[in-house]
Amino acid sequence: MNVLRCLLQLVLYVPLMALVGTLSSKPAFTHVPPEQALVRLSVVHAAQRKVECRTRTQEELAKLSPNMRAAQDCPRERAPLVVELDIDGSLVYRRIAAPAGITKDGAASVYYRMLVPARAHQVAARLRDGPGEGFNFRKDARIELAPGGSLLIDFNAAQGGFLFRN
Amino acid sequence: MRAIQRAGQWVFLRVEAIFNLAFGDRLNPLYYLGPITYLLMWIVVGSGLYVYAFYKTGMAEAYASVEYLTVQQWWLGGVMRSVHRYASDAMALTMVLHLARHWMFDRYRGLRWFSWVSGVAVLWLVYVAGINGYMLPWDKMAQFVVIATAEWLDWLPVFNGTLVRNFILPENLNDRLFSLLSFIHIGVPLAVMALLWIHTQRVPQAKTSPPAPIAITLLAALVVLSLIKPALSQGEANLSHAVTVLDFDWFYLPVYALLYAWGAAPVWLLVAGGTVLLVALPWLPPRRRSAPVEGFHMLVRPDNRIIGVRDGETVLDAGLREGIAFPFECRNGGCGKCKADLAYGKAGLGAYQKSALSDEERAAGKVLLCCASPESDIQIEYLPQKTLGGIPARVWTASVESMEKLSSDVMRVFLKLDGGHRLAFYAGQYINVLLDNGEKRSFSFATAPHVNDRIELQIRRIPGGRFTTHVFERMKPGDPVRFEGPLGSFFLREEGGKPIIFVAGSTGFAPVKSMVEYAFHRNMRRRMILYWGVRSRRDLYLADLPRQWEKEHPEFRFVPVLSDPTPEDAWTGRTGLVHEAILADFPDLAQYQVYACGSVNMVEAAYPAFRTRGLSQDDCFSDAFRLAPKIRTGDTELVKLGGRA
């Protein structure tokens, strides 16, 4: 193998390996710009049943076969979840989430992400999980978000509703 | 679409030509994209096993264990990690190039659909494994990749925003996640390897490893790259902070960049639509069906086999599939090793390098088997480099059974194989006698193939010749002889009805004897005329034999020709050069076949003269016809038609 051929191989190999080495890390990808912060809203919640349970009458019970005579009639379908998010007084997200499942008796889920400028924000979250109007869970707080910071708005009814985690 | 493919072919051929200048056509990495992908997979597996030996599958330990390898054990662990990364990246590159080349050169239809579709599956599985690999070091890149993957999958109604909660809530993350990720990172590559094996099943004699020089160079290049630019983690994952700017792997992760630029739905559409399109491509227009549904048929010489060539198959693939020992190397129209004669029919020649098949060769009916596809039933003639008709060439040991001096300078030697073996061969083939110093001497079989319990050689004494002098002066019955054979692609074609003219010069009578006796044995009724050219009457060392054939077989005629008769010969027969006697007797050779067995000079003189008399190139048989240039260089494994010193 002559020197010229070796050099030519080098000329071809070096850019190829440089290509591999470079594209494996460059150019950089900006996921959240440095002057911004990330807000995520994540809710997984089983709403109230759409129709209240009612007590069956004796006549109704008599019509049922003996093994089906449950005193209460509870339709399984749950109400849709209504979630709203305000940032600095503006509604930035609203979603009506249907319950999961064929009979719509599962939990409804909501996930939303957005970028906001890195500074203090007035954040308000509302949720309705039953029939009727109005929201039965609310939380409103002023949150300081640093550059590259993150706010996770979680929901846990047992812990009182919305949890702002940053 | 065709315009894109033509443009792609142009680009590939030009780039490959540049690489040929540097690497030569046998070691051009671009001709081994598939095997290189295999090799890179093994490198990834090997380096990955080393990294895994130190990797700790725990929330608190994962990042630290990878950092230990990268920083404290940089000299091996760090190199292994980097090689693991870069080999994976290179693998993505070679896979995409491999796929692109096959698409550009229209090598994905017909029979190839299976390899194409399984290749697409391999591609996606490699991507799954690669992306999964980025989750393991539990740095910011891992944080980004797990959350982005979950957000992407969460678009699907089946998840609907629930999956991502496993990765954004710290209380949902535990050590078992890392065990799961490790399990996936081992399981998916295992699936890739299984699928790779399946991928190559329909490609006959598919190469799964590149030539050693390419493998070594590639590995060395990866190590050098790893030392110059080690793969590093990007800070420990922290779920309370957003991932801002990342050093991004554009080989594996561009889909994630699109995810945040376009949203999940368009990316799903792109990936799912792209996959469906890729999988469906073999059946989509523009269809180039030129073959009938059952494909074309190909007669392969010298194997004398007729095989089917399926739609979309190259001549090389069809032959290899049927066990034909076609010579080949690069399979990409670059090296020219699979060059052969298209003796009959039409074939699309495909795209190839001019250096592998010149315009002159193309005009003369040569094709590259790896690129050519039949457009009608065809006949291919190639030079076997290993075996003829599946008869393996091997080294034999024999002993001299008897010797008989046929003339002052021609010795008939009968060999008997040790152990009572019998040697199968074609009439016209030859053996190489192996000398103690490693040299070889070639002699044609003078016996016909059906007489295979002994081998007859007719050895002419060459003044000063080492072996022939030994034969005449010292060899005796019982002496051992080692030889290799059978060799050569010069043999009697039994089919066809054209009369045969045998042209024998001196001991070129030996292979003619084998062929004529075999023809009689097979009851061939074709007219045969033997012209045996020698200097003087005493050189017609077995003249009684063809005369006897003449009496017993009306279809056979014998014409001895002396070029330099002596007065004592009292010769009244034909004189002059043997091929000139034929030219005088046959003003038109178009309806004849000619088998020439003699010196290269005789063959070289006769061939053009015969061609001017209408003899078809397809009806000329002699190794010397084709390989005269090689003979002149002495680089030959050819029959030396009666022997040499």
Same-domain check for residues B47 and B95: yes
What average pLDDT does the segment B305-330 reach?
82
Count other Cβ atoms within 10 Å, centred on residue B371: 25
Within-domain flag for B422: yes
State the first-to-last Cα distance of chain A, in angstroms, to the nearest integer: 64
Alpha helix (H) ranges present in chain A?
3-23, 58-63
Distance from the B230 Cα atom to the nearest Cα atom in chain A, whole angstroms:
9
Please judge whether B217 and A13 are an interchain contact, meaning their C-beta atoms are less than 8 angstroms apart: yes
Please judge whether B23 and A26 are an interchain contact, meaning their C-beta atoms are less than 8 angstroms apart: no
Q: Of B33-42, B140-149, B323-332, B631-640, which range is least confident?
A: B631-640
CA distance to B477, B541, B557, B560, per residue, from B544 (Å) = 25, 8, 13, 11
Distance from the A81 Cα atom to the nearest Cα atom in chain B, whole angstroms:
14
Mean pLDDT over all residues of chain A?
Answer: 93
Query: Per-residue confidence at B493, pLDDT binned at 50, 70, 90?
Result: confident
A36 three-class SS: strand
Rounded Cα gap, residues A40 and B327, in angstroms: 63
Rounded Cα gap, residues B219 and B223, in angstroms: 6
pLDDT score of B550 = 93
Same-domain check for residues B506 and B599: yes
Mean pLDDT over all residues of chain B?
Answer: 87
Residue with tokens 């999988």: B279
A chain contacts of residue B18, beta-carbon cutoff 8 Å: 12
- Hey, is the C-beta of A101 within 8 angstroms of any chain B C-beta? no
Distance from the B351 Cα atom to the nearest Cα atom in chain A, whole angstroms:
23
Within-domain flag for B342: yes
What average pLDDT does the segment B361-372 reach?
91
pLDDT score of B24 = 86
Rounded Cα gap, residues B475 and B467, in angstroms: 10
pLDDT score of A6 = 83
pLDDT score of B291 = 62
Among the ranges B362-366, B451-455, B488-492, which has the highest mean pLDDT value? B362-366
Please judge whether B244 and A8 are an interchain contact, meaning their C-beta atoms are less than 8 angstroms apart: no
Tell me, what's the ipTM?
A: 0.92
Rounded Cα gap, residues B528 and B509, in angstroms: 14
What average pLDDT does the segment B194-200 reach?
93
* CB pairs < 8 Å spanning A and B: 115
Same-domain check for residues B257 and B334: no
Q: In what order do the strands lie in the sheet with B296-301?
A: B305-309, B296-301, B378-381, B339-344, B366-368
Rounded Cα gap, residues B410 and B406, in angstroms: 5
Residue with tokens 């142009």: B10
Among the ranges A18-32, B20-34, B517-531, B611-625, which has the highest mean pLDDT value? A18-32
Distance from the A113 Cα atom to the nearest Cα atom in chain B, whole angstroms:
10
Residue with tokens 């295992």: B190
Given a contact cutoff of 8 angstroms between Cβ atoms, the answer to whether B30 and B16 are in contact is: yes
Interface of A with B in 108-127 (CB under 8 A): 109-111, 113
Domain boundaries, chain A: 3-165
Q: Of A4-13, A140-149, B255-264, which range is least confident?
A: A4-13
What average pLDDT does the segment A48-54 reach?
89
Count of alpha carbons within 13 Å of B43, Cβ hemisphere only? 28
The CATH code of the domain that includes B595 is 3.40.50.80
Count other Cβ atoms within 10 Å, centred on residue B283: 10
Tokens of B118: 């399984």
Distance of CA B247 to the CA centre of its chain: 43
A chain contacts of residue B256, beta-carbon cutoff 8 Å: 29
Contacts of B542 (CB under 8 A, 6+ apart): B406, B458, B509, B513
pLDDT score of B637 = 31
pLDDT for residue B385 is more than 70? no
B592 three-class SS: coil
Q: Of A57-66, B519-528, B636-645, which range is least confident?
A: B636-645
Q: Of A41-50, B44-53, B370-379, which range is least confident?
A: B370-379
pLDDT for residue A118 is more than 60? yes
Same-domain check for residues B118 and B224: yes
Given a contact cutoff of 8 angstroms between Cβ atoms, the answer to whether B298 and B377 are in contact is: yes
Q: Which of B439, B464, B487 is the last residue of a domain?
A: B487
B156 three-class SS: coil
pLDDT score of B435 = 86
Which of the 8 DSSP states describes residue A38?
A: E
Rounded Cα gap, residues B478 and B415, in angstroms: 9
- Which is nearest to B444 in space by CA: B395, B485, B408, B498? B485
CA trace torsion A108, A114, A118, A121 (10° rounding): -50
pLDDT for residue A4 is more than 80? yes
Rounded Cα gap, residues A88 and B294, in angstroms: 72
- Which is nearest to B431 in space by CA: B443, B420, B439? B443
Q: Which helix (H) or strand (E) holds B513?
A: helix B509-521
**Which residues are paired to B139 by β-bridges?**
B236
Q: Which helix (H) or strand (E) holds A110?
A: strand A108-117
What average pLDDT does the segment B197-217 reach?
89
Which of the 8 DSSP states describes residue B77?
A: I
pLDDT score of B642 = 33
Rounded Cα gap, residues B307 and B315, in angstroms: 10
pLDDT for residue B178 is more than 60? yes
Q: Which helix (H) or strand (E) holds B431?
A: strand B430-434
Q: How many helices (H) and strands (E) does chain A have?
A: 2, 11
Q: Nearest residue on chain A to B143, judged by CA atoms?
A: A31
Same-domain check for residues B371 and B426: no
Mutate to test the interface with A, among B145, B155, B160 (most CBs of A within 10 A): B160
Query: Per-residue confidence at B523, pLDDT binned at 50, 70, 90?
Result: confident
Query: Per-residue confidence at B632, pLDDT binned at 50, 70, 90?
Result: very low
Given a contact cutoff of 8 angstroms between Cβ atoms, the answer to whether B39 and B83 are in contact is: no
Distance from the A133 Cα atom to the nearest Cα atom in chain B, whole angstroms:
25
Considering CB atoms only, which of A8, A21, A29 is closest to B248?
Answer: A29
Q: Which of B434, B466, B487 is the last residue of a domain?
A: B487
Among the ranges B14-18, B245-249, B613-617, which has the highest mean pLDDT value? B245-249
Q: Nearest residue on chain B to A10, judged by CA atoms?
A: B22
What average pLDDT does the segment A38-42 reach?
97
Contacts of B498 (CB under 8 A, 6+ apart): B526, B591, B592, B593, B619
Same-domain check for residues B263 and B308: no
- Which is nearest to B241 in space by CA: B139, B151, B155? B139
pLDDT score of B604 = 75
Considering CB atoms only, which of A11, A13, A38 is closest to B221?
Answer: A13
**Which residues are paired to B404 by β-bridges?**
B412
State the first-to-last Cα distance of chain B, in angstroms, to the nearest integer: 61
Same-domain check for residues B551 and B481: no
Which of the 8 DSSP states describes residue B325?
A: -
Letter for the amino acid at B568? E
Same-domain check for residues B473 and B327: no
Same-domain check for residues B365 and B417: no
Within-domain flag for B642: no
B614 Rama class: left (phi>0) / alpha (psi -120 to 50) / beta: left
The CATH code of the domain that includes B330 is 3.10.20.30
Within-domain flag for B412: yes
Q: Nearest residue on chain A to B28, judged by CA atoms?
A: A9
Considering CB atoms only, which of A9, A30, A148 is closest to B22?
Answer: A9
- Higher pLDDT among residues B95 and B332, named by residue: B95
Which of the 8 DSSP states describes residue B137?
A: T
Same-domain check for residues B28 and B177: yes
How many folded domains does chain B comprise?
A: 4
Residue with tokens 């269809």: B287
B chain contacts of residue A12, beta-carbon cutoff 8 Å: 18-19, 22-23
Rounded Cα gap, residues B491 and B622, in angstroms: 8
Same-domain check for residues B623 and B574: yes
Distance from the A26 Cα atom to the nearest Cα atom in chain B, whole angstroms:
6
Same-domain check for residues B411 and B350: no
Rounded Cα gap, residues B480 and B477, in angstroms: 9
pLDDT for residue B641 is more than 60? no
pLDDT for residue B639 is more than 80? no
Within-domain flag for B24: yes
Please judge whether B168 and A148 are an interchain contact, meaning their C-beta atoms are less than 8 angstroms apart: no
pLDDT for residue A104 is more than 80? yes
Considering CB atoms only, which of B144, B217, B229 is closest to A21?
Answer: B229
What average pLDDT does the segment B607-632 reach?
64
Given a contact cutoff of 8 angstroms between Cβ atoms, the answer to whether B608 and B584 are in contact is: no
Pairing verdict, β B339-344 and B296-301: unpaired
Show the domain range for B581: 500-633
Which of the 8 DSSP states describes residue A104?
A: S
pLDDT score of B645 = 33
Within-domain flag for B545: yes
pLDDT for residue B23 is more than 70? yes
A chain contacts of residue B160, beta-carbon cutoff 8 Å: 100, 109
Q: Which tens digits make up the pLDDT trace of B87-141?
A: 999 999 999 999 999 999 888 888 889 999 999 999 999 999 999 999 999 999 9
What average pLDDT does the segment B348-363 reach?
89
pLDDT score of B609 = 87
pLDDT score of A25 = 95
Query: Per-residue confidence at B388, pLDDT binned at 50, 70, 90?
Result: low
- Hey, is the C-beta of A3 within 8 angstroms of any chain B C-beta? no
CA trace torsion B172, B177, B180, B186 (10° rounding): 150
How does DSSP assign B186-254, residue by residue? Answer: HHHHHHHHHHHHHHTTTSTT---S--HHHHHHHHHHHHHHHHHS-----SB--TTB---EE---TTT-H
pLDDT score of B295 = 76
pLDDT for residue B428 is more than 90? no
Tokens of B158: 């089946």
The CATH code of the domain that includes B483 is 2.40.30.10
Going by CATH, does the domain composed of A3-165 fall within 2.60.40?
yes
Query: Per-residue confidence at B66, pLDDT binned at 50, 70, 90?
Result: very high
Within-domain flag for B495: no
What's phi and psi for B269, nearest 5 deg?
-60, -45
Letter for the amino acid at B542? L
Tokens of B273: 């639509």
pLDDT for residue A89 is more than 60? yes
pTM for this entry: 0.69
Which of the 8 DSSP states describes residue B390?
A: T
The CATH code of the domain that includes B235 is 1.20.810.10
Considering CB atoms only, which of A26, A109, A166 is closest to B162?
Answer: A109
Query: Per-residue confidence at B634, pLDDT binned at 50, 70, 90?
Result: very low
Count of alpha carbons within 13 Å of B88, Cβ hemisphere only? 31
